[in-house]
Chain A
């Protein structure tokens, strides 16, 4: 996990909420893959289909505001999203991200920093995002060790399972 993450940027705005990510009508679906097809459907109906073209989410302020529904992280995991970069995260959403083993990176950015489809390389260890398309670098505050340990263990349940076995 602390090795480099390589992917393509998908840009979203401020205050993307959990109802945007997984609309309520999908919440009783038992099949997570079915649910994942509806990810962000009110914002971009083709999001789930075109995931290969944008598998690192770049968002504005307060990403994931709203419900505690962890489905709003899990659908991204199911779709293969590698990391989420945002100006700020809602509290429960950030916990859920780390707990499910997806890096959440908090950093300020503007329209010159990233464009849709930019090829990015993220180093959590160095606290650095390298935009290969634009040949630019952006530093971010590294995650505390307590959280990177959860990411390294592949999420908090894997960590707990390991502890329970020992």
Chain B
């Protein structure tokens, strides 16, 4: 028998000679990301242990991104608690003061900390994003973070794996967001609980790194623990610009065993949305076209990258946002913001009437910079549309690709971007 990617990397990080799905094992963690949760529950839990050190201050990445800059007194207090902790335990990668960096899942890979073969955990469910870089990465709670801070180890249940074989190529106006929403809708939000998803095939190679990050980001909405892409030239080129650290490319063994094999021809994927209030509530764009919107939001760790801003700019250039619709655009990091500035994208957005914000999670969690009022409808490139997620409990969120969000903002209603692309 052979090993899947998840099995290979977990085995590599354990002291065992062999492992199999369902087994509980202890693994050594390579790197851990924490954000505002540090000032939420983590610092309180950690102090209970009564130790005055962390296992390795060089393997901890701390950034503030959810409420940045602080929109309320309570958020400001939380930030203070975070910074105190990071200083007390002498974190090396401490971005508690640099509010301009961006969203954790974008900044960490940009800085070269997400490399093939690694085992990374983070205090955020969308930590799965790093799987785009051929590693294992997953979200954990505050108590698990405390365990890693103290010992550098964590327990894992070895997951069963799904093999997703992708062929073909997207047609114009279709993006990786449409693919992942389709997958989640097909298998449901509980369809991959505790599973590791591996993305195979020529189709996967046609996706940009940006697009792969969107897919890995949202596997958690189907319940998955990991969402891993196989390595290729595109990945190595990306990494060469970001890091000089060595890494080990991981491919599954030929005889590896998968619980399920799913096949997708990307040329058959069409624009879709997830209707309120569940990311698995899939509908073809034709079923929801014409629904009037109050707000359109383009941003977040799911879709605030260059590929996303470029397609939005292509649609928006020379046009105006519908007069009764608010368009909010938030690049996922400062690096992206600068690149978008240099390419003239930000000017296109501002001229069309969009509000362009500093890089933060902001509206996605109903935090700030675009909270929804009662019964308002938003089309959003974010990853969750739970009841009350972006504001008032009677507001509604449709999840869609950046292209669909941008074109809908111009029309003031949910619209099919293939009309203009």
Chain A positions near chain B (C-beta within 8 angstroms): 15, 17, 19-20, 23-25, 27-30, 42, 61-62, 65-71, 73-74, 88-92, 95-96, 99-100, 144, 146-147, 155-157, 160-161, 164
Contact = CB atoms under 8 A, between A and B. Distances in A.
A30 B193 contact: no
A156 B142 CA distance: 11
A19 B386 contact: yes
A74 B49 contact: no
Contacts of A24: 365-367, 388-389
Given A17-B386, A27-B40, A91 B194 contact: yes
B50 interface: yes
A144 B386 CA distance: 32
Contacts of B75: 28
B404 interface: no
Interface string B41-85: 100010011110000000000000001000010110110000000
Contacts of B24: 144, 146-147
Is chain B's interface secondary structure helix, strand, loop, or mixed overall? loop
A155 B143 contact: yes
A21 to B, nearest CB: 11
Given A92-B139, A156-B143, A161 B366 contact: no
13 contacts: A23-B366, A24-B366, A28-B78, A42-B387, A67-B125, A70-B41, A88-B190, A89-B193, A91-B193, A92-B125, A96-B141, A157-B143, A164-B49
B303 interface: no
Interface string B220-247: 0001110000000000000000000000
Contacts of B387: 19-20, 42
Given A68-B140, A70-B143, A156-B144, 17 more contacts: A17-B384, A23-B366, A24-B366, A24-B388, A24-B389, A25-B366, A28-B74, A62-B190, A66-B384, A66-B386, A69-B141, A70-B41, A71-B40, A73-B141, A89-B193, A147-B24, A160-B150
Contacts of B155: 146
Contacts of B389: 19, 24
B152 to A, nearest CB: 12
A64 to B, nearest CB: 10
Contacts of A157: 45, 48-49, 143, 146-147
Contact of B189 (A62, A68, A92, A146): A62
Contacts of A89: 193
B393 interface: yes
Contacts of B37: 68-70
B267 interface: no
Contacts of A88: 190, 193
B325 interface: no
Contacts of A42: 387-388, 393
B22 to A, nearest CB: 9
B302 to A, nearest CB: 14
A99 B278 contact: no
A66 B222 CA distance: 10
Could you say which of A28, A73, A99, A161 has the most chain B C-beta atoms within 10 Å of its C-beta? Answer: A28
Nearest to A163: B151
A92 B141 contact: yes
B123 interface: yes
A99 B190 contact: no
Contacts of A30: 74, 77-78
A20 B139 CA distance: 19
A161 B48 contact: yes
B141 to A, nearest CB: 4
A99 B42 CA distance: 13
Given A157-B45, A161-B49, A62 B223 contact: yes
B125 A160 contact: no
Interface in B1-54: 24, 36-37, 40-41, 45, 48-51
B335 interface: no
B141 A160 contact: no
Contacts of A19: 384, 386-389
Contact of A68 (B141, B147, B386): B141
A15 B194 contact: no
Nearest to B42: A70
A100 to B, nearest CB: 6
Nearest to A150: B155
Contacts of B384: 17, 19, 66
A99 B144 contact: yes
